[in-house]
Structure 1
Amino acid sequence: MDFTPVASLIDRLTSWRVPWAEVLVMHHNEIVFQYRNGFENVEEKTPIRDNAIFNLYSMTKIMTCVAALQLVEKGDILLLDPLSQYLPEFAEMQVKKTLPNGEVYYEKAARPITVRDLFTMTAGFSYDINAPSIQEAVERTNGTLPTREFARALAKEPLMFEPGTHWNYSMCHDVLGALIEVVSGKRFGTYLQDEIIKPLGMNDTTFDLNEKQQTRLIPQYLFDEQQDKAVRMDGNGFRIGTELDSGGAGLLSTVTDYAKFLNALTGYGTSPEGVRILSRASVELMRTDHLNDMTRPDFSWDHMYGYGYGLGVRTHISKAGSGSLSPIGEFGWAGAAGCMAIIDPDSGLTVMYAQHLLNSQEHYVHRRLRNAVYSCL
């Protein structure tokens, strides 16, 4: 396998808008290629180092959904259970409706939010972290906003649509984190450490960095079109409380560390060392397309053509639609600063790609990277 095309693409990206980029490719549990280029600190021209820590943002969602599927496997929850069975505040939800003349009114939801709706982004939530009830809860908790309090606050906001009738990228997986807390009896971050992170031998994946890890947290950038350069913009705007273990966007990690988790999914839920975090049946359910005639039109991002949406992941359903060199059933997700996962059990392939640039150029980068990797196999 000659990965020269992948290295060339990384070089091209880092000479363009992306300050640094790194890719790790595993094939049948062996690292067959790892390459990085660019500057972790643009101002000081510091080359990107090994084991740099960065924000995963929405790639957190994959681990959150795996954690919740563990509870499904134990019989603690069912996908079709009403969410209010575990989080009572979601029992009486209001749906925001708009008349043709623009008048807004509210109506009681016709059906309950289910656990499955959280996985599949069909609950009716938005991604408005500035919603009044959430901001009130931030102030009331003195900026801590624990995960469980976040869910209580979100439940006070009206739904955008009847549960199950549309797909909308939202804070569903943050609520899934609260559900895991209630059902497991552990803080969400602790559950992840106990059931996934530590068993897989991952030492640098966490919601809260220790002092030593903090020294490896690297700068984050935003590409400024007017200045035609990347400008420093640190912090995670989605983690709006110091005690909010955000199941949607809160984890930090390294390329090598998170690749261990992704590769366990490539192994149908079991790591090369024999650590099982999910059953094969759960991995297959996760990568099954859960969109239907009502929700499919909403999943219309151009870089997702040819993909369906499973339990928290994109899943490849049409090579003709995607133009992708990856096989049907390849799955994964990405993050706001540009990281991306490719999980392909049928090919025995795991790809962990990382960068740390908000307005990440995802639509340009990810499809090209995927095709470059598969062309090398």
Structure 2
Amino acid sequence: MEFKPLARFIDRITSWRIPWAEVVVMHRNETVFRYRNGYADLEEKTAIDDSRIFNLYSMTKIMTCTAALQLVEKGAIRLSDPLPDYLPEYAEMTVRKTLPDGEIALEKAERAIAVRDLFTMTAGFSYDLGAPSIREVVQRTNGKVPTREFAAALAKEPLLFEPGTRWNYSLCHDVLAALVEAVDGRRFGAYVKEEITGPLGMLDTSFDLTEEQRSRLAPQYEYNDALGKPVRKDGNGYRIGTEFESGGAGLLSTVSDYVRFLDALTNRGTSPDGVRILSPAGVDLMRTDHLNERTRADFNWEHFAGYGYGLGVRTHISKAGSGSLSPLGEFGWSGAAGCLAIIDPDSQLTVMYAQHLLNNQEPYVHPRLRNIVYACL
């Protein structure tokens, strides 16, 4: 294995527009390469180090789907179960439909949202955190917005389509976190800590930071094209309440911490020291392509060509379509500030890439980084 091309790529993108970047490559549970470059704080010229905490954003979704899959494995829920069995507020949903004359009408949904629809982004939700019912719950709870309250508020909004008929990237996994709470009884963050991060020894992964951890939170940036440089933009716009543990975008972590979780999935659900978070069958169900003829056309992001969508993850289904050097069945997800997970049980390969830049250049960086990694093996 020779990883000089990967180091050169990190150097190139951090001299381009990304303030800092770090990558860890694990093979057969051993770290075979780790490299970082750039500044955690551009103004202070503080070099990036391995203790920095950053926003995972949508890479939270892998953790949320793992938590919910644990409940599937325990027989507490099934993918085919109607969501109203656990969250009664979803019993009477309406769907926004466009009539032949162009007018918008609200009609009663023909079928209930299924648990599967939450995993697979086919429930009919949007990603509109400014919807009237969401604004109302923020005000009514004095800015707390507990996770269950968020889900109850979202149920008041009309769906964009009949459940199960289309794919739309949305707030599905935030509702999935509320489902975990409803079924298990613990707050979602407590469940994650006690069932996943705690057993794996992940001490720096959570929805809320201690004072000491806040001192290690990396500044966040957004590239300003007019100025030709990154500008500071801290905060998580998806964290709309102090008690909202967003299953879709709320976790913070470090590279060292989150790679432990990813490697357990690479290891088909069990960490190198024997902590089991999922069964091999559960991992395989997660990385199975769950798109069908009706939903596949909606999963059309250019940099996901050749990939299907599993239970909260992209999953590689066509080398010809993707042009990727990774094997079929490689899976993972990414986050709004640019982090990336590559989970590959067949190659026994885990990659955790991190940066902290909104408008993150994901379509450029991620496919190239993945191909460089596999070419280096």
TM > 0.5 between the two? Answer: yes
Tell me which amino acid in the other structure corresponds to 1:311: L
1:57-136 pair list within 5 angstroms: 57-136=57-136
Cα distance in 2 for partners of 1:152, 1:197 equals 27
User: Structure 2 stretches of 5 or more lacking a match?
Assistant: none
Cα distance in 2 for partners of 1:252, 1:100 equals 46
TM-score of the two chains, using structure 2 as the length reference: 1.00
Cα distance in 1 for partners of 2:19, 2:231 equals 10
Tell me which amino acid in the other structure corresponds to 1:234: D
Q: CA deviation at 1:156?
A: 0.2
Moved beyond 3 Å, runs of 4+: none
TM-score of the two chains, using structure 1 as the length reference: 1.00
Matching of residue 372 in structure 1 with residue 372 in structure 2: yes
For each residue in 1:12-40, what CA deviation from the matched residue of structure 2 results, as whole angstroms up to 9, or x when unmatched?
A: 00000100000000000000000000011
Q: CA deviation at 1:101?
A: 3.0
Matching of residue 356 in structure 1 with residue 349 in structure 2: no
How many pairs align? 377
For each residue in 1:112-134, what CA deviation from the matched residue of structure 2 results, as whole angstroms up to 9, or x when unmatched?
A: 00000000000000000000000
Residue in 2 aligned with 1:137? Answer: 137
3-state SS in 2 of match to 1:329: coil
1:180-195 pair list within 5 angstroms: 180-195=180-195
Matching of residue 233 in structure 1 with residue 228 in structure 2: no
User: Structure 1 stretches of 5 or more lacking a match?
Assistant: none
1:321-332 pair list within 5 angstroms: 321-332=321-332
For each residue in 1:197-223, what CA deviation from the matched residue of structure 2 results, as whole angstroms up to 9, or x when unmatched?
A: 000011100000001101000100000
Residue in 2 aligned with 1:278? Answer: 278
1:222-371 pair list within 5 angstroms: 222-371=222-371
Cα distance in 2 for partners of 1:220, 1:276 equals 33
Q: CA deviation at 1:49?
A: 1.5
Residue in 1 aligned with 2:218? Answer: 218
Cα distance in 2 for partners of 1:337, 1:97 equals 34
3-state SS in 2 of match to 1:351: strand
Cα distance in 1 for partners of 2:151, 2:249 equals 15
Cα distance in 2 for partners of 1:256, 1:290 equals 31
Cα distance in 2 for partners of 1:226, 1:214 equals 31
Cα distance in 2 for partners of 1:183, 1:83 equals 11
For each residue in 1:43-94, what CA deviation from the matched residue of structure 2 results, as whole angstroms up to 9, or x when unmatched?
A: 1111111210000000000000000000000000000000000000000000
Cα distance in 2 for partners of 1:51, 1:265 equals 23
Cα distance in 1 for partners of 2:61, 2:265 equals 14
Cα distance in 2 for partners of 1:49, 1:318 equals 37
Percent sequence identity over aligned pairs: 73
Tell me which amino acid in the other structure corresponds to 2:291: L
For each residue in 1:190-248, what CA deviation from the matched residue of structure 2 results, as whole angstroms up to 9, or x when unmatched?
A: 00000000000111000000011010001000001111110000000001000000000
3-state SS in 2 of match to 1:31: strand
Cα distance in 1 for partners of 2:101, 2:47 equals 57
Cα distance in 2 for partners of 1:99, 1:42 equals 52
Matching of residue 14 in structure 1 with residue 14 in structure 2: yes
Cα distance in 1 for partners of 2:25, 2:199 equals 22
Cα distance in 1 for partners of 2:99, 2:36 equals 53
1:21-32 pair list within 5 angstroms: 21-32=21-32
Name the Cα RMSD after superposition.
0.5
Cα distance in 2 for partners of 1:221, 1:317 equals 34
